[in-house]
Amino acid sequence: MAVTRKSAEPASSAAGAPRRPRRRLFGGRNLAFWYFVGPFLIGLAIFTYIPVGWSAYLSLFDARNTVTPASEDFVGLDNFATMLTDENFRRSLITFTVFALFVVPLTFAASLGLALAVNRVRIMRAFFRSVFFLPFACSYVVASLVWKMSIFTGVRYGMMNTVLEWFGVENIAWLAGNDPPWFWLVIVTLRIWIQCGFYMILFIAALQQIPEQLYEAAYVDGAKPGRQTFWHITMPGLRATSVAVLMLIVIQAYQAFDEFYNLLPNNGNVPYARTPLIYLYNTALGTGQDLGRGSAGALILALLIAIVTLLQGRFLGFGKSEGR
């Protein structure tokens, strides 16, 4: 009888315990969540995930002049092998790896320098932020035309050649493929001019999160304002933002298209400065319209960007807290 009483007690206590309410996926607060997030997820699926999946599908077929290849056109991984052995495609990847090595540090240094300067301004701070951020609102196409038609080429000479003529320097064919390759100066300055304002805002936001007490304590301890506080307080405080900025600059460097397409001859399809995207654009949408090879090359480029980004994040410690 005692055993029966003991076994009955847990059953009664379990029956009397309040049950946790079951959360419904599309009810209550979750419904409000889906109202806000749902449209963005739908747009992301339609304009990103579905096209990427269809590109992966096309990369397995000999898809010429069609986005719905027949089953007999299945070639497996032949398109990937063709692109990896294509000298022009590999040259474009190598060229823009070198291009990224120049653009990334210059853009990073210019953005950080602008952020430090603007953050120290006490008057008209909003004005200077707006002035330096304004180029980011300009499209690459418009900026390319301004650079080409007004600054470096112009109706006759362009502003740069006019200024150089004052010092006795002859006119330079900036956008021709002659030696030295002056077109890199045009493209690099254009990209830095457009991107600096955006990354400057990111750095300013991070600078404002660094407590002023750290600088005051460093001053009391004898640290000189300037180089010492910059390396021991400012840069550690900007660590997470710096890594994110570097990753974004690298990704955008490999996605370069508009300025090369609008500045260089033959719509950027030149062997001395052909971007991977321009090569893929001409492969998929050019005369041959080989969508299979173009899709395979696009997936290779996406994989390369992902690997470079992951290695960069791993090396720089992206996502780690300051104390780790």
> Which residue type sits at 275?
T
Reported as type and span, the H/E element at residue 237 is helix 235-237
Determine the Cα angle at 146 with ends 301 and 151, to 5°: 110
**Rounded to an integer, what distance in angstroms lies between the CA atom of residue 53 and that of residue 33?**
27
Query: Mean pLDDT throughout 31-37?
Result: 82
Q: Can the peptide bond before residue 180 be classed as cis, meaning omega within 30 degrees of 0?
A: yes
Question: CATH classification of 94-141+173-316, choosing from 3.40.1280.10, 3.40.50.300, 1.10.3720.10, 3.40.50.2300?
Answer: 1.10.3720.10
Q: Assess contact for 134 and 197: CB atoms under 8 A.
A: yes
The two tokens of residue 273 are: 């400065």
Angle at CA of residue 171, ends 167 and 173, nearest 5°: 140
Confidence at residue 299, expressed as pLDDT on a 0 to 100 scale: 92
Looking at per-residue pLDDT, the higher value among 30 and 37 belongs to 37
Residues above pLDDT 90, as percent of the chain? 20
pLDDT surpassing 50 at residue 38: yes
CA neighbor of 88 nearest in space, from 76, 96, 78: 96
pLDDT at 185 over 50: yes
**Nearest to 198, CA basis, from 312, 308, 110:** 110
Q: Name the least confident of 48-52, 152-156, 248-252, 253-257.
A: 152-156
What residue segments make up the domains of the chain, in order of their start?
94-141+173-316
Half-sphere exposure of residue 92, counting CA atoms within 13 Å on the CB side? 30
Position with higher pLDDT, 283 vs 11: 283
Confidence tier at 198 by pLDDT (50, 70, 90): very high
224 vs 56: which has the higher pLDDT: 56
10 against 182, higher pLDDT: 182
Q: CA nearest 186: which of 154, 141, 151, 138?
A: 151
Q: What is the three-class DSSP state of 214?
A: helix
Q: What is the average pLDDT across 166-187?
A: 79
- The model scores a pTM over 0.95: no
The tokens 């600078």 sit on which residue?
207
Residue 323: the pLDDT is: 46
Contact partners, residue 215, CB within 8 Å, separation at least 6: 225, 229, 233
